[in-house]
Structure 1
Amino acid sequence: MLAILGITFPIFAAIAIGFGLARTGFLTPPQTGLLSKFVINVALPPLIFNAVASRPIAEVFSLPFMVTMFLGGLATLAVSFLWFSRTGPMRRAVALMGSVVPNSAFVGFPLMTILFPGDAGVILSMNFLIENVVFIPLLLVAIEMARGAEGSGGVKLRRVFLGVLRRPMIIGLILGVVFSTLGLSLPEPLHRLTTMFANSASALALVVIGASLAGLATTGNRAMGAQIAAMKLIVHPLMVALVAWALVALGLGLDADVRAAAIISAAVPSFAIYTVLVSGTRHEGLASLALLIGTVTSFVTLNVLLAVLL
């Protein structure tokens, strides 16, 4: 148990430090927002680029890992859709988004740098590809459809997908794939520069998520927020584990580390911009509660999961 706490303690201690800095006024909400933008737009794109560009393309993407995350995510969406079927279309769409998209950038990556230091960047790249190309656009479309069902808008697919393609981390991933495929490499000075920014990502991301939690609204449907958190922390990794087990049974060769990385990736709390992406739905408070409950509770659920897997 001490060994497990040695893995998770630095992660949650850094989150707690960020929370304390925000609550004492050392970090104000505008400053936290700027730091978040720095992590997302400046630190993580070169990290993803370096992780992808520095490897042969055959080693960049693990098809079994990505299939596991994709099918596990779809299974989670199905369970979540059925569970929240009695609520309204917009609240259900908000719940679906919180149930299946993990905080791979701010929590998952720092955790992977401890568990799988040599592959953390590639794991982030694969998770980010699945989340940003498949699940986030799909769930944004679900929110737009819910708006249409409520008479407040329609589906704007082009806007959703163009928004994804403009994200710096997607651009970094695409450039990394190009460099990997063509066997190119950056000049050494540029490589040192991108590495310097990439190295700033992990600790800063954790402080930012802690500071962001301090500013979340705590009004809303607490029971439903707890259910969304349970979907994310329990049902999502369970679905991924079942898919991984099924693939192994079919002889598709998921080794122990790949299975563990997939299940742990699914077990981290909901992504940091969850509350931003559901703005305008009138259920931002619900998303804030789900994110807050999930992030705090994940200290327990992740420790239990790591004790089982490792």
Structure 2
Amino acid sequence: MSDIIGFVLPFFGLIFMGFLVARITRQPLEALGWMNTFIVYVALPALFFQLLAKTPFERLTEWSFILGSVVSTYTIFSLMFAWSVLTSRGEIAQSTIKALAAAYGNIGYMGPGLALLAFGNDAAVPVALIFCFENIIHFAVAPMMMALSGDDKTSPLQLVLGVLRKIVLHPFIIATAMGVAAAYISFRPPEPVERFLEYLSGAAAPCALFAMGVTLALRPLNRIPHELAVIAALKLILHPLLCYVVLSWVGDFSETWLFSAVLLAALPTATNVFVIAQQYGVWVQRASASVLITTCLSVMTVTGLLYMIRQGVLPPDLFP
């Protein structure tokens, strides 16, 4: 167990360092703007492009893997949404945010760094595929459900255009598409460009984790949702378990691909859930609390998951 703790300590240590520095220096959250810009628009896209461009193209079209991952995520979403609608007498907007809190993991900031650290560069392809396809669906589902709730007065055309804009212009998705295209034509950038991409890629995980810690420190924990126990159980325990079973059932994937997907499913609630809640003015403080508390709990659950993987408690295929 000590080797697993030593393995995850630097990872969660970066989050804690960001949290601690933010508490000490008391800089406003807005001061993090350029750091987030660098992470989202430069460092992580460089990481995705560099790793995907070096991957054989045939490995980028594992549709059963993509489908299994998305089905697992949206089964969790549906369970939380249905439970919330039943207990809140049909409140769609709040139920959507609660369902996203239970299903939308921090696969952008935490996912690449932890998966590559745990499983090596071979984890880049499954991480990128899961990130792109799940985010495409998240970007579509959130505004659609808000429109159904009646709180969003956007016209259907504006709604569709807004969704398409978020998908087509997202820097991670652009970088992934360029990486896939480069893999297809076997393109390799010149050595100076390759070295430049390596510098940017190396900064991606440390900067993202530090920024995440700062964000958690500067968001107030004012209202803890009474649904938090259900959200945490679905997000941190049932989601990775379901992903593990579904992917073992639908395909014969490599150990790295399977466990990368399970690890991403085990990550805590994404900070984007708070952003979406803030955008629509729904369940905002509780969404912030869900991000913070599931992140704290994930220190134990993710460490436990990695321990089970390393010790062979979880076989790489339930249905050989």
Give the TM-score, by structure 2 length.
0.88
Structure 2 partner of 1:110: 113
Deviation at 1:62, TM superposition (A): 3.5
**Residue 191 of structure 1 aligns with which residue?**
194
Question: Contact conserved, 1:96 with 1:139, CA < 8 A, in 2?
Answer: no
Q: Alpha carbons of 1:308 and 1:50: their partners in 2 closer, same or farther (altered >3 Å)?
A: same
Q: Which residue of 1 aligns with 2:248?
A: 245
Shift of 1:42: 1.0
2:277 aligns with 278
**How far off its partner does 1:223 sit?**
1.6
> Shift of residue 125 of structure 1?
1.0
Secondary structure of the corresponding residue to residue 226 of structure 2: helix
Residue of structure 2 in register with 1:158 after alignment: 161
Gaps of 5+ in 1: none
C-alpha distance in structure 2 between counterparts of 1:94 and 1:228, whole Å: 11
In structure 2, which of residues 209, 220, 239 is the aligned counterpart of residue 236 of structure 1? 239
Q: 1:242 to 1:79 in 2, by over 3 A?
A: farther
In 2, distance between residues paired with 1:7 and 1:99? Answer: 26
Contact 2:96/2:145 (8 A) holds in 1: yes
Q: What is the Cα deviation at residue 293 of structure 1? A: 0.8
* CA–CA distance in structure 1, aligned partners of residues 45 and 183 of structure 2: 15
Contact 1:76-1:99 at 8 Å conserved across structures: yes
Is the 8 Å Cα contact of residues 94 and 143 (structure 1) preserved in structure 2?
no
2:46–2:200 CA contact under 8 A, matched in 1: yes
Deviations 1:263-290 (A, max 9, x none): 1110011222221122133311111011
2:204 and 2:256 map into 1 onto residues whose CA distance is 24
Whole-Å Cα distance in 2 between the matches of residues 204 and 33 of structure 1?
12
In the alignment, the residues of structure 2 paired with residue 190 and residue 245 of structure 1 have an alpha-carbon distance, to the nearest angstrom, of 39
Within-5 A mapping of 1:14-53: 14-25=14-25, 27-53=27-53
For residues 179 and 245 of structure 1, do their structure 2 counterparts lie closer, same or farther at Cα, with a shift above 3 Å needed?
closer
User: CA, structure 1 residues 182+245, in 2 after alignment: closer, same or farther (shift >3 Å)?
Assistant: closer
Is the contact made by 2:228 and 2:290 (CA closer than 8 Å) also made in structure 1? Answer: yes
- For 2:306 and 2:83, the matched residues in 1 are separated by 27
CA deviation after TM superposition for structure 1 residue 172, in Å:
0.8
Q: Is the 8 A contact 1:47 1:198 kept in 2?
A: yes
Counterparts in 2 of 1:239 and 1:40: CA distance versus 1, 3 Å: same
The number of residue pairs the alignment matches comes to 304
Q: Is 1:89 the counterpart of 2:92 in the alignment?
A: yes
TM-score (norm 1): 0.91
Q: List structure 1 runs of 4+ shifted beyond 6 angstroms.
A: none
CA distance in structure 2 between the aligned counterparts of 1:11 and 1:206, rounded to whole angstroms: 8
Aligned position for 1:265: 264
Tell me if the contact between 1:97 and 1:136 (Cα under 8 Å) persists in the aligned partners.
no
CA RMSD of aligned residues (A): 1.9
Is 1:299 the equivalent of 2:302? no
| Matches of 1:191 and 1:28, distance apart in 2 | 36
Q: Which amino acid aligns with 2:198?
A: T
